[in-house]
Structure 1
Amino acid sequence: MPLSSHDLTQLTASAAARLLQRRELTAQALLQACLACIERHEPDILAWRQYDAGRAMQLARQLDQGPLRGPLHGPPLGVKDLFDTRDFPSGYGSPIYQHHQPVNDAAAVALCRQAGAIVVGKTVTTEFATFTPGPTRNPHNHQHTPGGSSSGSAAAVGAHMVPLALGTQTAASIIRPAAYCGVVGFKPSFGLIPRAGVKSLSESLDTVGAFGRCVEDVALLASVMANAPQWRELPDDRKPRIGVCRTAHWDSASPAAQRAFETTVGRLHEAGVHLVDVTLTQAVCALSQAHDEVMCAEAFKALADERLNHPQLLSERLQAMLERGSRITYEHTLQHRAQLASARHQLGRGFADYDLLMTPSACGEAEQGLERTGDPMFSRIWSLMGLPSLNLPVGFGPQGLPLGIQVIGPVLSDTATLAFARWIEQKLAIDA
């Protein structure tokens, strides 16, 4: 029996991709279901800066009539409006670029198209991927933030408008919105996915990543962008050793977030996972403040033209961030690099005793109101270290909004980190 439009939008990207590869599902049918979902929910959620149903359907027809293009043959894709796209304007969340039309795709977007993905449109980002939000609302409660800066991408996947979306993370811009919107978000190790054609904010922090409904989904999308097919080969028997890391910010986590975290720890213990409590050294904890200063200093340089020629079109919040960055000296920058090297060495020794660290993904459920996108405190350290990390949904809080846990692997351990995360995801689902 053919799947209904609702059933099609509930498919994970990986399940849909298998059906498309076997020609048991057409790209047109899947896209039509997603477009109907967009038409139904977009007026309330405002996840999209722009989408083009006609152009997407034309691409779907071409895919159905031609040979298989690659591992992403057919699944609809949302692209954060920080990426350049040759067929959609790229505004970077700023009025400065309101009518900006790139000539080329960002490298990551081109790789996805080459593999068969259908780019439906551009999803809302905050201003230059910083803290001033766009109009997007949380798909679970429209009075709450979806998080940022990858606001539209997380909300579009969370509302089942598309099964996959691209995001970026400089502080917590994949992990936090994934947690708030109840989806899986994956930030790979720094530098494994090309950033060419992505508007820069921080040269040493910006990382391209993926949103999906399960670990297999984000592995599929990220593997194409990283040219790492092994990321799609996730064994089912990789039981991890986990370092339980409540971090120095534990008291900032809401009671609901703390309960969800401890419940997850208990369930993993019952599943026979080797767990060890991890207390971060002072050198590692200090990286949270260092991250903030590195980001401000590098943003001051990355947005030099906008600051020089269009200061009146920058938000007050961003102007204050750039002003702060202008005061961070070269000597201070060198101190940050030395601090990071020492902390990496200390944490690297710890990874001999566990495969993953597990922390909260965010302080709790999505904040009420649309003026803020939430606090990035639980991801800053791992972003600065360039470590692979994922958000895994683990239920809902008292307001009916999603909660998540974050798993973090050693640098360049993305293949193993994805496999371990999938094992955790499946174990938690089985025992739910």
Structure 2
Amino acid sequence: MISLADLQRRIEAGELSPDDAIAQSHAAIEAKEKDVRAFVRHDKSAKAQASGPLRGIAVGIKDIIDTSNMPTEMGSQIYRGWQPRSDAPVVMMLKRAGATIIGKTTTTAFASRDPTPTLNPHNSGHTPGGSSSGSAAAVGAGMVPLALGTQTGGSVIRPAAYCGAAAIKPSFRMLPTIGVKCYSWALDTVGLFGSRAEDLARGLLAMTGRTEFSGIGPAKAPRIGVVRQEFAEAVEPAAEEGLQAAIKAAGKAGASVKTIDLPESVQEAWRIHPIIQDFEAHRALAWEFSEHHDEIAPMLRASLDETVGLTPKEYDEARRVARRGRRELGELFEGFDVLLTYSAPGTAPAKELASTGSPRYNRLWTLMGNPCVAVPVMKVGGLPIGVQVIARFGNDPVALAAAWFLEDALAKSG
């Protein structure tokens, strides 16, 4: 992978020009795209900007996010050739920081579940995950140092785990979702992919100007609560192996590690996530469902057909459950700096299964709005396995520092 932090240091030291850094990404895309298929658009004319902390940094943009100079097709034939008039605010944040938008990355249709043509960069017979398939694969394959994705269930953290990349799903609404095709306004969250936690911190600092992302380093002896989410069904042995490796490395490096159970109200929040997601999806995709029903991708169309009967009463009760869950989860963080859990149920499923994998270990944290950082741990059978670090809402720097600590601990443990 390409490290954003390393590129920045080399550019600042005069060892690498911003133009040469962008040229490296162009060359990597040309060399690898035919095997990975991460991009729906590659702007071969994209050049480095003259200034800004992200000058020389090539960024891939998930194709549900508006760009003024490239179509935004949302993975759907309904929007084939659709050209927005303006950039989404999150794209402008990147441009104002000096980043170069090098292309649009693949997305499942409307960031839902139908697989894209993208292949896992570690094994082309397996999925890269979804819905941010192209962004995760582009970073995991070493094409770009930074990419934008979105998460409504598990669409940033899970594909990061499958592709061996680091990623952050920030606290809800830290990054604006205006100009991003809506699926669920209570859940949709813009996230970043990079090679490690330091890259994510630098990316967020440059984009947001939030000083709390400046000077982040590895946490010192963090208090870690391990959550296995038994209510979310069993994991594959590979996922448990990855979690155990992370626990062992963290403890050896000086962290306090304790296995805990989540409160009943939080477990109940996990159950009702799909009610909120599906109820809002019917409103967000009302025009497409009514006017272009048969053109909607098959798996998404079937899901919308199955959930058409959800009622406002069910939705309102689900929101009440979510509020109770957030309140009790906040109290849990009085005793821990971060929580640690699986990023995915196992390694990336085979492509022939036509699945981007299950979001069942991610969806609770999306609903709760907490910042989550994906940390690659190891490979099992040649495929990456990762874990996720979760902090209290608004404590994104704490999540990144703990993830950085865990990366160092894993590196030392071999």
The alignment's TM-score, normalised by the length of structure 2, stands at: 0.96
Equivalent of residue 426 in structure 1, options 397, 408, 411: 408
Q: Using the TM superposition, give the Cα deviation of residue 149 of structure 1 relative to its aligned residue in structure 2, in angstroms.
A: 0.3
SS of residue matched to 2:279:
helix
Distance in 2 between the 1:222 and 1:293 partners? 31
Q: 1:249 to 1:143 in 2, by over 3 A?
A: farther
> Map of 1:10-29 to 2, 5 A cutoff?
10-29=1-20
Distance in 1 between the 2:125 and 2:136 partners? 16
Q: Which residue of 2 aligns with 1:368?
A: 350
Q: Using the TM superposition, give the Cα deviation of residue 315 of structure 1 relative to its aligned residue in structure 2, in angstroms.
A: 2.0
2:202 maps to 1:220? yes
SS of residue matched to 1:286:
helix
SS of residue matched to 1:300:
helix
Distance in 1 between the 2:373 and 2:407 partners? 11
Q: Which residue of 2 aligns with 1:280?
A: 262
Q: Using the TM superposition, give the Cα deviation of residue 243 of structure 1 relative to its aligned residue in structure 2, in angstroms.
A: 0.3
Q: Which amino acid aligns with 2:117?
A: P
Q: Which amino acid aligns with 1:374?
A: G
Q: Which residue of 2 aligns with 1:410?
A: 392
After superposition, the C-alpha distances for 1:155-183 in whole angstroms (9 at most, x for unaligned) are 00011011110010000000000000000
2:128 maps to 1:137? no
Q: Using the TM superposition, give the Cα deviation of residue 152 of structure 1 relative to its aligned residue in structure 2, in angstroms.
A: 0.2
CA contact (8 A) 2:57 2:145 kept: yes
Q: Using the TM superposition, give the Cα deviation of residue 342 of structure 1 relative to its aligned residue in structure 2, in angstroms.
A: 1.4
Q: Which residue of 2 aligns with 1:112?
A: 94
Runs of 5+ consecutive residues of structure 1 not aligned to the other structure: 1-9
Equivalent of residue 373 in structure 2, options 390, 399, 414: 390
Runs of 5+ consecutive residues of structure 2 not aligned to the other structure: none
Q: Using the TM superposition, give the Cα deviation of residue 272 of structure 1 relative to its aligned residue in structure 2, in angstroms.
A: 2.0
2:39 maps to 1:95? no
Q: Using the TM superposition, give the Cα deviation of residue 361 of structure 1 relative to its aligned residue in structure 2, in angstroms.
A: 0.4
Q: Which amino acid aligns with 1:329?
A: T
CA contact (8 A) 2:151 2:190 kept: yes
Q: Which residue of 2 aligns with 1:86?
A: 68
Equivalent of residue 149 in structure 2, options 148, 162, 167: 167
2:214 maps to 1:232? yes
SS of residue matched to 1:238:
coil
Distance in 2 between the 1:81 and 1:22 partners? 34
After superposition, the C-alpha distances for 1:259-278 in whole angstroms (9 at most, x for unaligned) are 22112212212222111211
2:233 maps to 1:242? no
Distance in 1 between the 2:405 and 2:133 partners? 27
Equivalent of residue 310 in structure 1, options 284, 292, 299: 292
Q: Which residue of 2 aligns with 1:335?
A: 317
Q: Which amino acid aligns with 1:25?
A: L
CA contact (8 A) 2:167 2:375 kept: yes
Q: Which amino acid aligns with 2:356?
A: T
Distance in 2 between the 1:394 and 1:378 partners? 16
2:23 maps to 1:32? yes
Q: Which amino acid aligns with 2:360?
A: M
Q: Which amino acid aligns with 2:36?
A: I
Q: Which amino acid aligns with 1:383?
A: T
SS of residue matched to 2:130:
coil
Q: Which residue of 1 aligns with 2:338?
A: 356
Q: Which residue of 2 aligns with 1:48?
A: 39
Q: Using the TM superposition, give the Cα deviation of residue 120 of structure 1 relative to its aligned residue in structure 2, in angstroms.
A: 0.6
CA contact (8 A) 1:194 1:226 kept: no
Equivalent of residue 282 in structure 2, options 300, 319, 325: 300
Identical residues among aligned pairs (%) = 40
Distance in 2 between the 1:250 and 1:305 partners? 33
Q: Using the TM superposition, give the Cα deviation of residue 237 of structure 1 relative to its aligned residue in structure 2, in angstroms.
A: 4.5
2:135 maps to 1:148? no
Distance in 2 between the 1:155 and 1:115 partners? 24
Distance in 2 between the 1:236 and 1:186 partners? 16
After superposition, the C-alpha distances for 1:169-227 in whole angstroms (9 at most, x for unaligned) are 00000000000000001000001111111111000000001000000111222333333
RMSD of the TM alignment (CA)? 1.4
SS of residue matched to 1:326:
coil
The alignment's TM-score, normalised by the length of structure 1, stands at: 0.93
After TM superposition, the structure 1 stretch with the greater mean CA deviation from structure 2, 366-375 or 422-431, is 422-431
Q: Using the TM superposition, give the Cα deviation of residue 249 of structure 1 relative to its aligned residue in structure 2, in angstroms.
A: 4.9
Q: Which amino acid aligns with 2:20?
A: A
Equivalent of residue 206 in structure 1, options 188, 199, 220: 188
2:250 maps to 1:259? no
Q: 1:368 to 1:193 in 2, by over 3 A?
A: same
SS of residue matched to 1:252:
coil
